[in-house]
Amino acid sequence: MTDTSSDDATEAERVTDDATDPASVTGPGTDHESLDPTEAALGARGLTKRFGELTAVGGVDLAVPEGELRAIIGPNGAGKTTFFNVLTNALEPTAGAVYLHGEEITGTPQYARPHDGLVRSFQSNQLFTEQTVHENVRIVAQTAEQGAFSLDLLGRGRDLATERAHEVLELTELDDLAEETAKNLSHGDQRRLGIAMALATDPSVLLLDEPTSGLGAVETETTADLIEDIQSELGLTLLLIEHDMNIVLSRSDRITVLHRGEVLTTGTPEEIRNDDAVQEAYLGERDEEGSL
């Protein structure tokens, strides 16, 4: 998929270059995005979140075309996770709009998003800790099957969800651990379970919040491979917050750089590597992390 997706991206660019939508020239970061948000798999226009005086996300425009692996990078405190939170309505945006496959979903409740095909994983290991790996995934699959609410007291939906859970666990290579209690898993397996649960919702757009954080070098590569495999197998559009620059530069189709809650630039790995503004934004960070 990665081999061909760059072609997709260029094609998408060509399409939107023709259709110069006036609406897309509003926010500060607009000129970096080549596609209109309403035509992308996942789009945002002027998305803003303020906490009192503090602007965590300020007028972000985003347009991720179908099938793209887009990385979001930026120094600590750039507002990456908050951006995910407003995209999924875990936090209500102060202003702006979110689009999924051309439809505006800004006001819909958080729990409705996975049913529309937009789901996220968490930066910290968020699990149903007291239950087995299989049950974690099964509950999500059951929800995808039965809807956001179902008063299923007789267990009619159980078998279907069980099957689906097994499929997802196989896909994420967790099937050996299916009967383990979630809280007893290793950190790496917990991270993978988080991804597996997101997949169980049968998403079309997947937001991953630092899927490799806290992992060793080998595990990081395996996880990156896993993510790529999943994307190509399921044909997902991926939005990825990631600190590991090797992964970002080698795996993503395009990269969006957030800085102080705003889009600094968006471009291919090559363009980002050579962007002076990006280098500058990271200068303060580099000493601490040396990540770029």
Footprint on this chain of other proteins (rule: CB under 8 A): 88-90, 92, 109-115, 119-120, 122, 126-131, 135-136, 138-140, 142-144, 146, 148-155, 157-158, 161, 197-198, 200-201
Query: Shortest gap between Cβ of 258 and other proteins (angstroms)?
Result: 21
Q: How far is the CB of 171 from other proteins (least distance, A)?
A: 17
Question: From residue 36, how far is each of 12, 162, 192 by CA, in Å?
Answer: 10, 39, 33
Q: Which is nearer to other proteins, 115 or 260 (CB)?
A: 115
Length of the chain: 292
Distance in Å, CB of 12 to other proteins, minimum: 28
Residue holding tokens 């050996």?
176
Task: Specify the 3-state DSSP secondary structure of 256.
Answer: strand
Contact 165, 138 (CB under 8 A): yes
Q: Which is nearer to other proteins, 140 or 255 (CB)?
A: 140
Of 105, 90, 135, 83, the C-alpha closest to 257 is 83
Is the Cβ of residue 14 or residue 156 nearer to other proteins in the bound state? 156
CB of 128 to other proteins, least distance (A): 4
DSSP 67: T
d(CA 184, CA 179): 11
- d(Cα 101, Cα 204) in Å, to the nearest integer? 9
Q: Please report the sign of the dihedral spanned by the C-alpha atoms of residue 74, residue 77, residue 78, residue 80.
A: positive
Nearer to other proteins, 27 or 114 (CB): 114
Shortest CB 185 distance to other proteins, Å: 15
Centroid of chain to Cα 224: 14
Tell me 86's DSSP state: H
Cα separation, 160 vs 182, whole angstroms: 22
Instruction: Return the number of the residue (109 or 216) whose C-beta is nearest other proteins.
Output: 109
Q: What are the Cα distances from residue 268, in Å, to 62, 116, 250?
A: 15, 28, 10
- Rounded to a whole number of angstroms, the minimum distance from the CB of residue 168 to other proteins is 12
Q: How far is the CB of 125 from other proteins (least distance, A)?
A: 10
